[in-house]
Amino acid sequence: MSKVRYWQKDIETIGRRALEELQLKRLRSSFGRLYRHVPSFREKCRAAGVSPAAINSLRDIAHIPFTTSDDLRAGYPAGLLAVDRNRAIRLHTSSGTTGKPKAIFFSKRDIAQAAELVARCLTMTGTGSGDVLQNMMTYGLFTGALMMHYGAEKVGALVIPAGPGNTERQIALMQDFGTTAVHILPSYALYLATFMQQHGMDPKKDLSLKRAYMGAEPYSEKTRLKIEKLFGIDVYNCYGLTEMNGPGVAFECLEKNGLHLWEDNFIVEIVDPVTGQQLPEGAEGELVLTSLCREAMPVMRYRTRDITRILAGKCPCGRTHRRISRILGRSDDMIIVRGVNIFPQQIEQVLMGIRGVAQNYQIVLESLDELTIRVEIARDMFDGNIEHLLSLKSEIVEKIRSAVLVKPIVELLEPGTLPVTEGKAKRVIDKRTI
Ligand code: AMP
Ligand code: ZN
């Protein structure tokens, strides 16, 4: 294994018992502050019969009521703030919603802490002074770009705050300043590679990239491998959400085998998405997170809707914080066709492993029993030989059928046909009206 580097070695390799003592101390303090300062939360706790005095061990967390995104929306704009409004120095909102967003406040200490966590993540994957990090995430209300920016500056990298889009300019910046690392959406990384190829460039030879940080939307292992191969780089999975600071909640180390979740800052639980019951370690379910260090707006037992599991065993990198698997999907992204539950990522996993499939695809649902997949395929597949196209099409149909148990209708498209978004990709077009 290559050289392991730590940002805060003591805390990253802390023993389990000391970590749990720290978690309990911080849980009691965060819960207590929220209980004292947020009346709606206090009422909810009273109704559930739990008060700070009842938290005597980490197991007692199960008595604390969950916080859902509806609770956060109900508290809009500032109902769940646990400090005086003047102590908050930053506001972010969480994406992917209709109607009122969720407003998340940060104190000065919260911003510094978020940057610390990102600094741990970047150091762990080899980014530091001497690196040039081009940040292609959206700067603004979304935490993705800003928190990564702060963490990257902290480790001494040169940060290019490029934001998303304007692909020609992105490439020019990467070439002119020797960008070694990018923070990028997986869907945009795929688009960038297509764009370069279409303009006669080789993403592997014409850039000096070493690594990419990819998160903000679910993607499959096959997509990671495809992007690594296209650019000749290492791709590290980066997970986070606004309610818990933004990026850097959980991050892959050089092993690329699960994401270390910083347990000194968050308590992790996996629950049954339907019943809310805690599941045993290793079981797949919904990730529930409790923030332990957030000052302006601590959040207890937040139902993330993200599906994952805790990975067993020690990581060879020496970090003791447990790892979660890549996010398998969101419980609210799951689609049901002919009564079968399907996560879009299962389809992506199949597509990205097939030779001849290009970078973009879309899942279209028109009725309850029909699954249509529109797939862009490599330009060299349109070589005038219809046999090649037909055999690619039946390979896609068969492989998806065996992965998700529903036979799809597959449409093959030329590269560049499907729309590309600047933000998180919209892979599923659901035209069904029920
Ligand atoms: P936001 O609060 O707008 O940053 O959105 C957070 C959500 O983005 C998470 O709850 C996940 O659903 C998704 N997300 C973030 N990072 C990843 C990742 N690495 N893999 C899959 N989904 C992710
Ligand atoms: Zn590790």
Helix (H) or strand (E) holding 224: helix 221-231
- Looking from the CA of 202 toward its CB, the CA atoms found within 13 Å total 5
pLDDT at 75: 87
pLDDT at 359: 87
pLDDT, one tens digit for every residue, the chain (434 residues): 558 999 999 999 999 999 999 999 999 999 999 999 999 999 999 999 999 999 999 999 999 999 999 899 888 888 899 999 999 999 998 865 456 788 999 999 999 999 999 999 999 999 999 999 999 999 999 999 999 999 999 999 999 999 998 999 999 999 999 999 999 999 899 999 999 999 999 999 999 999 999 999 889 999 999 999 999 999 999 999 999 999 999 999 999 999 999 999 999 999 999 899 999 999 999 999 999 999 999 999 999 999 999 999 999 999 999 999 999 988 888 888 888 888 898 999 999 999 999 989 999 998 878 999 999 999 888 888 899 999 999 999 999 999 988 999 999 999 889 988 777 888 899 888 65
Rg, the chain, Cα only: 22
| Structural domains of the chain ordered from first start | 1-332 (3.40.50.12780), 335-430 (3.30.300.30)
Of all ligands present, the nearest one to the C-alpha of 322 is: 2
Q: Are 113 and 293 in contact (CB under 8 A)?
A: yes
Distance (Å) from CA 258 to ligand 2 centroid? 8
Kindly state if the Cβ of 343 falls inside 6 Å of ligand 1. no
Q: Which of 12, 6, 17, 20 is nearest to 320 (CA)?
A: 12
pLDDT at 332: 81
Q: How far, in Å, are 124, 210, 297 from residue 234 at the CA level?
A: 13, 6, 35
State which amino acid sits at residue 211.
R
Helix (H) or strand (E) holding 350: helix 344-351
Distance (Å) from CA 370 to ligand 1 centroid? 28
Closest residue by Cα to atom 6, ligand 1, is: 241
**What CA–CA distance (Å, rounded) separates 180 from 127?**
9
Q: Which of 270, 280, 262, 281 is nearest to 321 (CA)?
A: 262
Of all ligands present, the nearest one to the C-alpha of 121 is: 2
**Which atom belonging to ligand 1 lies closest to the Cα atom of 214?**
19
Of all ligands present, the nearest one to the C-alpha of 319 is: 2
The Cα angle at residue 54 between residues 53 and 60, in degrees rounded to 5: 140
Q: Are 310 and 324 in contact (CB under 8 A)?
A: yes
Q: Are 241 and 249 in contact (CB under 8 A)?
A: yes
pTM: 0.90
State which amino acid sits at residue 120.
R
Question: Which residue among 91, 241, 244 is best mutated to probe the pocket of ligand 1, counting the most ligand atoms within 8 A of its Cβ?
Answer: 241
State which amino acid sits at residue 338.
R
Distance (Å) from CA 246 to ligand 1 centroid? 9
Tokens linked to 238 = 């980066």
Question: Which residue among 217, 221, 243 is best mutated to probe the pocket of ligand 1, counting the most ligand atoms within 8 A of its Cβ?
Answer: 217
**What CA–CA distance (Å, rounded) separates 172 from 181?**
15
Of all ligands present, the nearest one to the C-alpha of 252 is: 2
pLDDT at 98: 55
Closest residue by Cα to atom 15, ligand 1, is: 216
Cross-strand pairs, 189: none
**What CA–CA distance (Å, rounded) separates 41 from 375?**
47
Closest residue by Cα to atom 12, ligand 1, is: 306
Coil, strand or helix: which one is 74? helix
Of all ligands present, the nearest one to the C-alpha of 330 is: 1
Q: First CA to last CA across the chain, in angstroms?
A: 53
Distance (Å) from CA 69 to ligand 2 centroid? 31
Q: Which of 338, 323, 325, 355 is nearest to 409 (CA)?
A: 338
Distance (Å) from CA 99 to ligand 2 centroid? 39
Distance (Å) from CA 328 to ligand 1 centroid? 11
SS (H, E, C) 368-410: CCEEEEEEEECHHHCCCCHHHHHHHHHHHHHHHHHHHCCCCEE
pLDDT at 94: 82
**Spatial CB neighbours of 260, under 8 Å, sequence gap ≥ 6:** 124, 250, 251, 252, 253, 315, 319, 321, 322, 323
Distance (Å) from CA 190 to ligand 2 centroid? 26
Kindly state if the Cβ of 237 falls inside 6 Å of ligand 1. yes
Helical segments of 56-185, H only:
69-74, 108-124, 143-154, 167-177
Cross-strand pairs, 336: 341
Q: Are 388 and 379 in contact (CB under 8 A)?
A: no
Q: Which of 95, 35, 100 is nearest to 71 (CA)?
A: 100
Q: Which of 354, 332, 317 is nearest to 236 (CA)?
A: 317
**What CA–CA distance (Å, rounded) separates 72 from 367?**
33
Tokens linked to 190 = 């795929």
Cross-strand pairs, 303: 288
pLDDT at 426: 84
**Which atom belonging to ligand 1 lies closest to the Cα atom of 238?**
19
Q: Residues in the chain, how many?
A: 434
Closest residue by Cα to atom 20, ligand 1, is: 218
> Tokens 């914080």, residue?
321
pLDDT at 363: 95
**What CA–CA distance (Å, rounded) separates 70 from 124?**
35
Q: Which of 226, 243, 247, 292 is nearest to 122 (CA)?
A: 247
**Spatial CB neighbours of 183, under 8 Å, sequence gap ≥ 6:** 133, 134, 135, 136, 137, 144, 145, 148, 152, 212, 213, 214, 238, 247
Q: Are 136 and 184 in contact (CB under 8 A)?
A: yes
Closest residue by Cα to atom 9, ligand 1, is: 241
